[in-house]
Structure 1
Amino acid sequence: MTYSWKDSIYQQREDLAQLIREPLAQLAETCTTAWGDREQLNAALTQGFASIPHCTALYCVTTDGVQICDNIGANGLAQEHFGRDRSQRPYMKEAVPAWGFLLSDAYISLLGHRPSLTALQVVRADSDMLGYLGADFDLRGLPVTSALYEEPGYWRQIKGDAAIRGMVFQQTRIDSLMDGNLDQALSILEELLTQRGVFQCQIHFSSSQATIWTVDDPFRYRILDHETLSDPDICLVYPSSPYPQDATIPQHTIEQILATMQSLRLADPTIYLRAASINIFNGMISLTFSCDGSHYMPYDEFLLKNTSFWF
């Protein structure tokens, strides 16, 4: 199953909610008789702290968001939070569902400046709502239970700087150093992509450079400047490597992809390709034009478009 980033977030939140909803509700019941008494609330939350998995702090607030006990955490009491007005914090501005439990959206914490989220459980005495039991969670301390999402494989267009788009028809492409040697530069990149273990390549036509990543050293990039891209000897530095069998982009299409990029670079003096990238594993091509608009699309869809489509 393919997960989007929203699917992954939803699943992660569902798993956490299932884990903490019941123990938080049980702890809220023990707070009912202690409500309004700072010391008794501190004692109840201290005793129940271990029952809330992955929690960093517990506290109680009124319906107006004013804290009526100390913060209870793994290191004990933090008295400076007593009387704190939390009414303007993001989690206090969300609507608590009718069943009385809310797992907030993630936010940046005030003290640690780290991604966090808060669970709120309504505290009731009979039919009267007294306030909320709050439980804070640091995202660094939460287990990841959902599958890592995959980048979508469909065509996406993203607009860039509006100032650049507004001036696009007042500019004209000026040949870069790479433009004057484009056939050779792209031939070198084809060799690196198909025969020398390079799996991702970002080509910056306007600044005459390329950034590459290799399967043997994928965590470090290497920059090939104009001088490098003018010298086929650079291919001697990278050992021969079989084209990966699990690559999405077929080896024989790399030449055509680069040739199409060359056409998009040179076909029009006003709307022209500034930068492009290839990743052979996810099968995507990215294009950034002089109007600062970016496109991300599958390689096969890219090859179906000729220059008349773009201009």
Structure 2
Amino acid sequence: MDKIEHIVGEDEKNARIDKVAAGLNEEWSRTQVQEWIRAGLVKVNDKAIKSNYKCMPGDQLFIEIPEPEPLDIEAEDLGLDIYFEDKDVLVVNKPRGMVVHPAPGHLSGTLVNGLMAHCKDLSGINGVMRPGIVHRIDKDTSGLLMVAKNDMAHEKLVQQLVDKSVTRKYKAIVHGIIPHDYGTIDAPIGRDQKDRQSMAVVDGGKHAVTHFQVIERFKDFTFVECVLETGRTHQIRVHMKYIGYPLAGDPKYGPKKTLDIEGQALHAGVLGFVHPRTDEYMEFEAPLPEGLQQLLKLLSKNN
């Protein structure tokens, strides 16, 4: 069972303990944290507390994270598009519409289901629900992902993500015409206080930096390349909305009136990293999926 310790800061004074704890990890919901509190897994200064406990600066918060419940995840032959594979690493081009890993209520058809059919050796660091998964992209985002086939590879690839040395370039279609050719968005991202299912640029959020370059301008849209310096949840989607150019088709962060596509027009086209065993830099590129290519042709016709 993993344990996390957090010292409450001045900016968290008088905040509820469940809110503070949920803010420590983007994947934790407040409801989930409240269950942990009821189970005695969350303590302040070595004492059990209730969810409405108001934090004070200097409080020591301890969280014991329970092991995920084992799920019966079936291996499925999904015809994965494998770009590279050896005994340590696998690079796969995930199609649009595919979820990366299983979750309660969604146990089949995911990338993990396909990986389990493709190879039996995947790292176990992220537990039974996410074997081999080092990083993720959203369901409706297509593109390249690196997968660890053992724990050594997993740890070294994650460290590269922490060190911001992984190359991650995305292509996106956004609403509006961006007037400048280049830009950098440096704005912290955290849970949207008005909608806990969404992320937003918020004070006290996690450091997030996205660089972008205009590839082509259309009548009402712009085709851009975005380069991630950090990897926060929904980072490109949140950042482009923040500067007034939300992604086309984005059901969560974009306008209701948008292009007729299912999900955001976003593709993780370039992935580069240092091989965990050989120390050789490797870079892969996946072309835009057919649907986005057709969309660009349509926009070009309407120019």
TM-score, normalised relative to structure 1: 0.21
Query: Higher helix fraction: Structure 1 or Structure 2?
Result: 1
CA radius of gyration, larger in: 1
TM-score, normalised relative to structure 2: 0.22
